[in-house]
Amino acid sequence: MSSRPRIVVVGGGFGGLWATRALSGDGVDITLIDRRNHHLFQPLLYQVATAGLSSPDIAAPLRHILRNQRNVEVRLGEVTGIDMQSRTVTLADGEQLPYDCLLLASGATHAYFGHDEWSRDAPGLKTLDDALAIRRRLLVAFERAEACEDPDERAAWLSFAVVGGGPTGVELAGTLAEIARHTLKREFRNIDPSHARVRLIEAGPRVLASFPESLSAKAQRQLEKLGVEVVTGTAVSAIDARGFTLGEQFVPARTVLWAAGVAASPLGALLGVDRDRAGRVPVASDLSVPGHPEIFIAGDLASVVQDGKPVPGVAPAAKQMGAHVATAIRARLAGKPAAPFRYRDFGNLATIGRMAAVVDLHGFKLSGLLAWWFWLAAHVFFLIGFRNRIIVLINWAWAYWSYQRHARIILGQDNLERHPGERRDPS
């Protein structure tokens, strides 16, 4: 369309979107490619999975976010090839997009550590479709328990496990306990939902390992107060439709959720360069791929080590990388050297459940109710789009006073009567 430099951005998450927006005033033509039509506020995805929020509350169409940025074209599509020689990206529909600079920011997906067969019985949480599939499983489990005559089978339906004690696992387990103890109160006739057992399994010595030990201990106590059984120091060795095996012991549980492993997006493999164990691409100081100064990586796909420690896979890091890549592209187009990327760590937050969270701001530590308010304010503030913020606040205020979760609607009903192990993957 012109002789302006062509920038191709793959992925409309925090990394890709922040880079794209930072280039809004530049004389470049940007194509932003994503497999999905929306930007997702991933930190609140567990709320969709646990029926507290609706999908549109935490997602906004990429086209809409970028409608006024005239140097961007948004393209719904899947990248299947990258030709670094001819500098071309190929999409699944066959279209080829030439680039002068390329940003890969396609994020991460679940990893089952060589046990991909577990994915059927222990779904993970990365997309809105994942969240709706998990929501369906949680709600159906209580329905099946209610309809069940056999006490052992009923107990198995009321047995829930979350594998992985990081922030997502802690959020899921805490909210699940809250649903069982409060939200569903008085709604069933044959079961008492508060008798549901919620286990959080962490192979390492403590939950929230990225936090100081004192906050891990506080988080565990808060989880236990909510009714979660926290199991640390033991790995899950098998998962099937009936339950899971912990060490040598089989534990019946019809609902197992996976929050343990993350692997970088497979797109990194298309570059043909070395990657680390989690599939991330080690980058140069300006976030470019070594030997390919025209290709950049941002977000969970990038392996960045700073002061001897890896930069964590969190939203603020992805945003900062995205913004830095915009600067680096600008420098490259001007023929100047790019400044090195430097991650500014503002602190670490994790929520546990109703009125419980932990906050670590470089030594200034908070836990409990105050930390929860801090977490809430930060998340509502960063939620994209003015409208969403208001609606989410109203939903939360409502949930807070009533213990209700408005999104308890099971979608994809055709799957209801099947056993979860027989279910086809959510679509």
Stretches 5-13, 51-59, 174-182, 292-300: which one binds a copy of itself (CB under 8 A)?
51-59
DSSP letter at 334 equals: T
Q: Residue 394 interacts with a copy of itself (CB under 8 A)?
A: yes
Cα 237 off chain centre by? 24
Q: Residue 56 interacts with a copy of itself (CB under 8 A)?
A: yes
Nearer to a copy of itself, 131 or 317 (CB): 131
Q: Residue 192 interacts with a copy of itself (CB under 8 A)?
A: no
Stretches 165-173, 195-203, 225-233, 409-417: which one binds a copy of itself (CB under 8 A)?
409-417
* Burial (CB count <10 Å: 0-12, 13-18, 19+), residue 153: middle
x/- map, 134-153, a copy of itself, by CB under 8 A:
-----xx--x--xx------
How far apart are alpha carbons 104 and 15 in whole angstroms? Answer: 9
Contact 375, 349 (CB under 8 A): yes
Tell me the Cα Rg of the chain.
Answer: 22
Please select the residue that binds a copy of itself; options are 27, 81, 188, 205, rule is CB under 8 A: 188
Q: Residue 38 interacts with a copy of itself (CB under 8 A)?
A: yes
At 314, the amino acid letter reads V
- Check 171, 202, 294, 422 and give the catalytic one: 171
User: Which of 223-232 are b and which e, b meaning 16 or more Cβ less than 10 Å from the residue's Cβ?
Assistant: beebbbebbb
Contact 323, 18 (CB under 8 A): yes
Number of residues that bind a copy of itself (CB under 8 A): 63
According to CB under 8 A, which residues from 340 to 359 bind a copy of itself? none
Residues in the chain: 427
Let me know if 153 is a catalytic residue. no
Q: Residue 413 interacts with a copy of itself (CB under 8 A)?
A: yes
Q: Residue 269 interacts with a copy of itself (CB under 8 A)?
A: no
Please select the residue that binds a copy of itself; options are 112, 373, 396, 398, rule is CB under 8 A: 398
Ranges assigned E (strand) in 275-321: 281-282, 288-289, 292-297, 302-303, 305-306, 309-310
Give the pair of three-digit tokens for residue 89.
């990206």
At 221, the amino acid letter reads R
Q: Residue 384 interacts with a copy of itself (CB under 8 A)?
A: no
Please select the residue that binds a copy of itself; options are 4, 197, 292, 408, rule is CB under 8 A: 408
Q: Residue 76 interacts with a copy of itself (CB under 8 A)?
A: yes
- ∠ Cα 188 191 192 (to 5°): 85
How, if at all, do strands 96-98 and 88-91 pair? Answer: antiparallel
Residues 6 or more apart whose CB falls under 8 angstroms from that of 248 comprise none
Q: Residue 241 interacts with a copy of itself (CB under 8 A)?
A: no
Nearer to a copy of itself, 191 or 311 (CB): 191
Residues 6 or more apart whose CB falls under 8 angstroms from that of 417 comprise none
Q: Residue 75 interacts with a copy of itself (CB under 8 A)?
A: yes
Please select the residue that binds a copy of itself; options are 81, 117, 190, 346, rule is CB under 8 A: 190
How far apart are alpha carbons 340 and 264 in whole angstroms? Answer: 23
Give the pair of three-digit tokens for residue 305.
């080590």
Nearer to a copy of itself, 146 or 345 (CB): 146
Q: Residue 416 interacts with a copy of itself (CB under 8 A)?
A: yes
Give the residue numbers annotated as catalytic, written as ranges. Answer: 171
Residues at the contact surface with a copy of itself, assessed by CB under 8 A: 35-38, 54-57, 59, 61, 63-64, 67-68, 73-78, 92-93, 95, 127-129, 132, 139-140, 143, 146-147, 184, 186-190, 387-388, 390-391, 394-395, 398, 402, 404, 406-417, 424-427
